[in-house]
Amino acid sequence: MTALFALLNLVATILSGQVIQRVGRKVIFIFAHVGMGLCLIVIAILGNKGMNGMIPIPIMTFIVIFGLTYGPIVWIFVAEILPDLGVGIAINLNWTWTFLIAQFFQPIAQAIGTPNTFLIFGVYCLAGLLVIIPFVKETKGLTREQIERLYQKGLNASTEGELEKRKDSIELPEID
C-alpha cells in the first residue's frame, strides 16, 4: 500500500505543473483546502463507523489532491509574493508546523481517538478558506512587480477576464 501511495504522489506531483499553468493559484488553493478537508472528514466518518477497509480510498484521494495542488503550489506562491527573507521565514514556519503535527498527532489521537483527530484536521483545512478567499490574490501570469502592486493596491480580481484587465492596469515602476 505504501508503494501505491508513493506512486500516486509522484504522478500527481509531475502532473501538477500542467495544473498550475492552466488554473489560477487562488482556485488551486480553494480546491486543495476543500478537497483535502473533505477527505480528512470522510476518513473520520469511516473510522468512527468502523469502516476501516474503506479508509484507503479517501487517503489516496487526499494524496492525489495534495500532490496536484497544495504540495507544489505553496512553494511557487510563497516565492511569488514574498521577498527573499519572507520566503525563508515561510519555509521555516512550514517545516516547524510539519514537525509539530508529526509530534503531536499520536498524543492527540490517543486522547480523543484517531478518527476525531482527522476530523479536527479536516475542519482546520476547511477553515483555511476563511483566509484564502478574502486575502489570497490571484497571481497567475503576473510579474513580481505586478504582484507587489496588486498587494499594495489591495486589488483582488479572481476571474480570467478580470485578470487580463488587471495585467494591463497594474503599472510597473519606472526604471531610470
> For the chain, which domains are there?
2-135 (1.20.1250.20), 137-176 (no CATH)
Q: What is the DSSP annotation of 81-149?
A: HS-HHHHHHHHHHHHHHHHHHHHHHHHHHHHH-HHHHHHHHHHHHHHTHHHHHHH----TT--HHHHHH
Residues 6+ apart with CB under 8 A from 93: none
pTM for the full predicted model: 0.81
pLDDT of residue 80: 87
- pLDDT tens, 40-60? 999 999 999 999 999 999 999
